[in-house]
Amino acid sequence: MASAEKHHILERPTFDKPAKLLIVVSPYYKDIADNMVAGAKAEIEAAGATWDLIEMPGALEIPTAIGISDRRSNFDGYVALGCVIRGETTHYETVCNDSSRAIQLLGLQGLCIGNGILTVENRKQAEVRADPADQNKGGGAAAAALHLIALSRKWGSQSKGIGFKPASENILLAGDTDGNTTA
């Protein structure tokens, strides 16, 4: 079993306008999921934010649920919670890799997601990581989502003028004869 080494924890972010998060959990291992949800709820509430909760059958469905929710709702961020315990087949690697990769891709698209899907060798490791009084990975995932929301709000209205410009802007810029472009 891995030792719980001390590590630095960032101060909880503060918000001018309360944040609203969706906790998406797979209760495949219900007792572990319940502990992770308890830790996530406590962290979200301590930041003055609100939460809603949905359940999915397994870890592979969590990113899809987040993607659907992002397109059809108004959450500021998401907390992905679940547990995958290594078994006798390669299914473990598929579930761990694909759920993690999908969550990362959603994050790179701008979604604020705290990934708390545990990937462990055995039940004891999961119990220690899920326990709010021990490693509290549910609370840690919620904290990650809150920090991403704070960053998104900080820079949300700023633009560096990068990316594609409409064709009409390119024509205007091409007609500028003094070598300066204004975008």
- Is 26 inside any structural domain? yes
Check: CB of residue 16 under 8 Å from CB of residue 149: no
Asked whether residue 7 is assigned to any structural domain, the reply reads no
Query: Does residue 83 form part of some domain?
Result: yes
Residue 147 annotated to the active site:
no
Q: What is the pLDDT averaged over residues 56-66?
A: 98
CA distances from 94 to 62, 130, 137, 178 (A): 14, 22, 22, 57
Domain assignment of residue 72, given as a range: 20-174
CA neighbours within 13 Å on the CB side: how many for 84? 25
Instruction: Using the predicted structure, report yes or no on whether residue 6 has a pLDDT greater than 90.
Output: no
Q: Which of 7, 8, 91, 147 is catalytic?
A: 91
Task: Please tell me the predicted confidence (pLDDT) of residue 165.
Answer: 56
Domain assignment present for 69 = yes
On whether residue 5 sits in a domain, the answer given is: no
Is residue 2 assigned to a domain?
no
pLDDT of 147 reads 98
Q: How sure is the predictor about 1, in pLDDT bands with cuts at 50, 70 and 90?
A: very low
Q: Is residue 12 part of a domain?
A: no
- Tally of domains within the chain: 1
Kindly report, residue by residue over 114-172, the tens digit of the pLDDT: 999 999 999 999 999 999 999 999 999 999 999 999 999 998 765 555 556 556 555 54
Mean per-residue pLDDT, 35-54: 98
Q: What is the pLDDT of residue 162?
A: 56
pLDDT of residue 160: 58
Is 21:50 a contact under the CB 8 Å cutoff?
yes
With a cut of 60, say whether residue 2 has pLDDT above it.
no
Q: Can you tell me the distance from the alpha carbon of 154 to that of 119, in angstroms, rounded to the nearest whole number?
A: 32
Computed over every residue of the chain, the mean pLDDT equals: 89
Domain of 77, CATH number, reads 3.40.50.960
Residue 105 resides in a domain: yes
Higher model confidence: residue 104 or residue 168?
104
